[in-house]
Amino acid sequence: MREDCKHFQSRTYASGEVARMCELDLAPEAPWRCPDSCPAYARRLADVNWSHGTLVTPPPTEEPSGFDADSIALLDEAEDIVNAVAPDLLSQVQRDRDKAETSPVQRLRDRFRRRR
């Protein structure tokens, strides 16, 4: 991945695992490489003359052997499935939160309200 691109992001988790990604989702072979001719590549300007401390992104893991176009297509398909389900899950969580915020008296009123 081009770490000098302004669209590059990385996160280090407590386990030590590092997630590297393109925030525009234009790197199908992430976290190992960006496309050679990425149309959105723009050099990160904020890093000019900064000195980095211990929070520098660790080096990437080695690219696994056998990682080919079929693997990329499978990962893209899995991402599409997750993205398709996410809005429904978020709305369900919001409904549950809204329900939990109503008072016990209001819930009793709703339960015993006459249906017309």
Q: Are 9 and 1 in contact (CB under 8 A)?
A: no
75 & 110 share domain:
yes
Looking at the structure of the chain, the number of domains it has is 2
| Together in a domain, 32 and 72 | no
CA-to-CA distance for 45 and 47, rounded, in angstroms? 6
Are 26 and 82 contained in the same domain? no
Whether 81 and 108 map to the same domain: the answer is yes
Mean pLDDT (the chain) is: 79
Same domain, 6 and 34: yes
Domain that holds residue 112: 68-116
Same domain, 88 and 43: no
Q: For the chain, where are the E strands, in sequence order?
A: 8-12, 18-22
Tell me: pLDDT of 82 over 60. yes
Single pTM value for the model:
0.45
pLDDT, tens only, 10-67: 888 888 788 888 888 888 777 677 888 888 888 887 655 566 666 666 677 777 777 7
Distance of alpha carbon 60 from alpha carbon 10, whole angstroms: 10
User: Do residue 115 and residue 95 come from a single domain?
Assistant: yes
Same domain, 36 and 5: yes
Is a pLDDT exceeding 70 seen at residue 74?
yes
